[in-house]
Amino acid sequence: MAGVELIRRGLAEPIGLLSEDPAVQKMVALAPLDRLVFGGWDPRLENEHEAAVRNDVVGTEQLKPVAPALRKLRAWPARWSAAAARRDLAAFQRKHRLARVVVVNLTSTEPAGKRGASAIYARAAIESGCPFINFTPNIADELPALRKLAEQRGVPLAGKDGKTGQTMMKSVLAPAFRARSLRVAGWFSTNLLGNEDGRTLKNPAAHRAKEKCKSDLLDQMLGYRVPSHLVQINYYPPRGDNKEAWDNIDLVGFLGKPMALKVNFLCRDSILAAPLVVDLVRFMDLAARRGERGPQEWLSFYFKAPYARHQPIEQGLAEQYRALLAHLRQAK
């Protein structure tokens, strides 16, 4: 929200926003950034300026010009029933006279196998006719029923788990190794993360859910099971939102000779994720305007475990990017 406010005022460039790329904007008419209205649920009930300062992603100095606008945005109370969430969505749409509402799930990772808040909000969105984006690894067991509901209600659905940093790099490197017939003998990935997402992942059950999303796509991209593929996510408070994603890749080349590649990505977790969320909102709004329903495979570019009608689905980033642009060309 802070980023969009800064861009609207010409105080920041839209770096990272594919939806702002001039080539994309020539293909389709997307909802302008200055027409987006924000709202949402959070247990803390803070206004957005308080939340931005507490999380310390943007920094108080850069926030100053947009602080008054962010203070006007206060989170709605968390809901534990789909009916209550539907009422909130209807009231929000009426208050701001909105043509459409897009719902994005940004909740913390929930333990695998347990019904959490994500499923409640997903059902509320779909029953309200709102396109729904699952940017988390949540909603596994409930997905078949939600997908059926989305098809019945004519609602676009996209997910799951935003592909931001380390997994984005895997979806670039793994297809390159496959194209050159280099065999991956092992891939060790570790993450140092000190924000609230990292703290949530201290829970072993939540960690397993996130780890599965980060792990599954590697074997799909390579076409075989990597003998040693390890993924670690470590909560390390001193890093805050400044995440370190470190990979060691052991390769086998011509004549069986071993090689290795090491990647150290010093990234910013929310700064990578935020533009993807804005892109997805604008693209899902386009899908709703065009009457598209159910899983939006053309948005696989943005997800670790993309929703699709047919499996397996292409996981390489370059191919996913080409598929996204091809869909947009047809959407004129």
* Integer angstrom CA distances of residue 164 from 184, 214, 272, 306, 307: 22, 11, 6, 13, 17
Separate counts of helices (H) and strands (E) for the chain: 13, 8
- Residue 189, classed as helix, strand or coil, is strand
Residue 92: both structure tokens together: 């929000």
- Residue 115 confidence (pLDDT): 73
Is the pLDDT at 214 greater than 70? The verdict is no
pLDDT classification of 18: cutoffs 50, 70, 90: very high
Phi-psi region of 6 (alpha: psi -120 to 50; beta: other; left: phi over 0): alpha
What CATH number should be reported for the domain whose range is 2-162+271-330? 3.40.50.720
Q: pLDDT of 151-178, one tens digit each?
A: 999 999 999 999 999 999 999 999 999 9
% of the chain beyond a pLDDT of 90: 84
Burial of 152 (0-12, 13-18, 19+ CB in 10 A): exposed
Tens digits of residue pLDDT in 96-146? 999 999 999 999 888 876 778 999 999 999 999 999 999 999 988 788 999
pLDDT in tens, 40-60: 999 999 999 999 999 999 999
Residue 13 CA to residue 32 CA, distance in Å, equals: 15
CATH architecture of the region 166-267? 2-Layer Sandwich (3.30)
| Position 201 confidence tier, pLDDT thresholds 50, 70, 90 | confident
Burial of residue 64 (number of CB atoms within 10 Å: 0-12, 13-18, 19+): exposed
Overall average pLDDT of the 214-233 stretch: 89
Q: Exposure of 129 by Cβ count < 10 A (0-12 exposed, 13-18 middle, 19+ buried)?
A: middle
Share of the chain above pLDDT 70, in %: 96
Instruction: Give CA–CA dist 273/270, Å, rounded.
Output: 5
Q: Where are the domains of the chain?
A: 2-162+271-330, 166-267
Task: State pLDDT tens for residues 78-89.
Answer: 999 999 999 999
For 277-299, what is each residue's pLDDT tens digit?
Answer: 999 999 999 999 999 999 999 99
Phi, psi of 186 (to 5 degrees): -165, 150
Identify the pLDDT of residue 269.
92
Of the pLDDT bands very low, low, confident and very high (cuts 50, 70, 90), residue 301 is very high
pLDDT level of residue 216 (50, 70, 90 thresholds): confident
Residue 210 has pLDDT above 70, yes or no: no
What's residue 89's pLDDT?
98
